[in-house]
Amino acid sequence: MPVDFEFGGVYLPPIAQALLLGLPLFLVLDALLRRSGVLARVWHPALLQGALYAAICAVLVLSMGVSA
C-alpha cells in the first residue's frame, strides 16, 4: 500500500508523488520527441504532450499500488 511522504512539513499523497516523479520523465521524453521530429508531424502537439504526461503518471500510480 502506498504511503504518504512528509516533505518540509507537507504530506504528499501517492498521486502527488506520481505527478512529481512523472515530470522529469515527461521532460526527457518530450525532448526526445522534439529532436526526432515526431511533434512536428502530429495533428495537435499539445494534446500528444498532455496524453503522454497522463500515461506516465498512470503507469507510476499503477506501479506504486502493486504490492508483493
The 10s digit of each residue's pLDDT in 1-45 is: 567 778 788 888 888 888 999 999 999 999 999 999 999 999 999
**pTM of the entire structure?**
0.82
Better-scored residue on pLDDT, 5 or 50: 50
Res 66: pLDDT: 62
List the chain domain ranges: 11-65
Give CA–CA dist 59/12, Å, rounded.
18
Res 13: pLDDT: 84
Res 68: pLDDT: 45
SS3 8: coil
Give the residue from 16, 28, 25 showing the smallest Cα distance to 61: 16
Which residue, chain included where needed, has cell 521524453?
Answer: 29
Helix ranges restricted to H, 1-68 = 14-36, 38-41, 45-65
Give CA–CA dist 11/31, Å, rounded.
31
Res 14: pLDDT: 82
